[in-house]
Structure 1
Amino acid sequence: MRVLFMCTANSCRSILSEAMFNHLAPEGFEAVSAGSFPKGQVLPRSLSTLQEAGIAIDGLSSKGNEAFEANPPDIVITVCDKAAGEACPVYFGPALKAHWGLEDPSDIKGDEATVSAAFHSTLAHIETRCRALLDLPFAQLDRDALKRELDRIGTL
């Protein structure tokens, strides 16, 4: 199963999600990420947060969803924050789609401790959702049931 995490810039939330999912995922599961307007580089704070959590950062890069046209995902999860007025990217493939909105920790202003706490809190939130996804009984779920579960996980 291949999961595509999408946000606007593909420099923070979708990168954190890709890395966390792949860190937790058993063989046969893979996450990738993309942005509707990729920044072209991953935020250094995203990378340092992952490293502090013991998660590999090799191969992480900011890219658009055209990178996945040849090998489309099974599931697309947007992680932009609609509540903040962000425009969520749209993926026009046949994949099952869900929204797991997250506040952008890179928007947090404050001292080092405040910003670091925001990134670590976002990563912890992503971990909770990724674990819930990976714990699903995929063999027992049809497409509609999987969609309901994905939507439910987005509320965790």
Structure 2
Amino acid sequence: MTQQPLNVLFLCTHNSARSIIAETVMNRLGAGKFKAYSAGSQPTGRVHPYAVELLQQLGYDTSGLRSKSWEEFSAPGAPQLDFVFTVCDNAANETCPFWPGQPVSAHWGLPDPSAAEGTETEKRLAFADTHRMLYQRIGIFVNLPLQSLDKLSLQQRLDDIGRVQMTTETEKA
């Protein structure tokens, strides 16, 4: 008997960078075990070009990526969600739709790379840092022993992952 993949939704206000990057990383690292989606409360309707560029450079499939509303995931026929993660501060403070099935949720806030200022190189570095931090957090998550954790322990682990402060290469220098 094959177990269905667990559905994970990453939320961010505009669904143009962080949540999109998280979706692609989860679909790679959690392949077969997890199926990731992303959405926003106020989607821009486009994926940020630096996010697409970075993901393509790293070998991710970007063909199906699009900026979409979280309302798609509360509508009839939407996938039943097992986990919902907010990856920006605005989405964490907003009133989310009702998610059928009461998915486990946590906040994994990260700086918005699309708000980065500076040279083109510095802006692209912000996207690379976002990818690296999400890759680390999602890597920890997909390796959790989910079957052996009760709901309270699982919630604590997910909250802890969101509090992990990942240093950027510029902070190490």
Question: Which TM bucket (shorter chain)?
Answer: over 0.9
Using the aligned pairs only, state the percent identity.
42
Q: Cα RMSD over matched residues?
A: 1.2
TM-score by length of 2: 0.84
Letter matched to residue 146 of structure 1: L
Paired residues of 1:13 and 1:104 also in contact (CA < 8 A)? yes
Please tell me whether residue 65 in structure 1 is matched to residue 70 in structure 2. Answer: yes
Q: Which residue of 2 aligns with 1:2?
A: 7
The answer for the alignment partner of 1:119 in structure 2 is 127
For the residue of structure 1 that corresponds to 2:66, the secondary structure is coil
Aligned position for 1:50? 55
Structure 2 unmatched runs, 5+: 1-5, 165-173
Per-residue deviation at 1:143?
A: 1.3
Distance across 1 between alignment mates of 2:156 and 2:97: 19
- Deviation, 1:28, is 3.0
- Bigger Rg, structure 1 or 2: 2
User: Cα gap change, 1:8/1:22 in structure 2, threshold over 3 Å: closer, same or farther?
Assistant: same
Distance 1:104 1:24 in 2: 22
Provide TM-score, normalisation by structure 1. Answer: 0.92
* Distance verdict in 2 for CA 1:135–1:87, change over 3 Å: closer
After superposition, what is the alpha-carbon deviation per residue over 1:25-55, rounded to whole angstroms, capped at 9, x for unaligned?
Answer: 1313111000001111111111001111221
Helix, strand or coil: the match of 1:154? helix
- 1:95 aligned to 91, 94, 103, which one? 103
- Deviation at 1:2? 0.7
Distance 1:26 1:9 in 2: 25
SS in 2 for 1:118: helix
Q: Kindly provide the CA deviation profile for residues 67-106 of structure 1, in whole angstroms up to 9, marking residues without a partner as x.
A: 123223111000013xxxx353424221111000000011
Q: Which amino acid aligns with 2:26?
A: F
1:79 to 1:91, Cα distance in 2 relative to 1, 3 A: farther
Distance in 1, matches of 2:113 and 2:33, equals 30
Can you give the 5+ residue segments of structure 1 that lack an aligned partner in the other structure? none
The answer as to whether partners of 2:11 and 2:84 remain within 8 angstroms in 1 is yes
